[in-house]
């Protein structure tokens, strides 16, 4: 089981990596939304 803080660190890393690419930012937002649904 991956803990929440590890997931957040990875997401933040990818957000910085793909900062210039709006499509990738949208993908990361969708992952965060689905994570919230899965954990709630």
* Predicted local distance difference test score (pLDDT) of residue 23: 73
* Predicted local distance difference test score (pLDDT) of residue 20: 58
What b/e string do you get for 11-39 counting C-beta neighbours within 10 Å, with b at 16 or more? eeeeeeeeeeeeeeeeebeeeeeeeeeee
- Residues of the domain holding 21: 4-39
The series of mean pLDDT values per 10 residues for the chain, 40 residues long, is 84 77 74 75
Number of domains into which the chain is organized:
1
* Predicted local distance difference test score (pLDDT) of residue 21: 64
* Predicted local distance difference test score (pLDDT) of residue 1: 66
């Amino acid at each position: 089981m991956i803990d929440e803080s590890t997931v957040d660190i990875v997401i933040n890393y990818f957000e910085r990596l793909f900062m210039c690419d709006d499509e990738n930012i949208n993908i990361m937002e969708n992952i965060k939304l689905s994570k919230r649904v899965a954990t709630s």
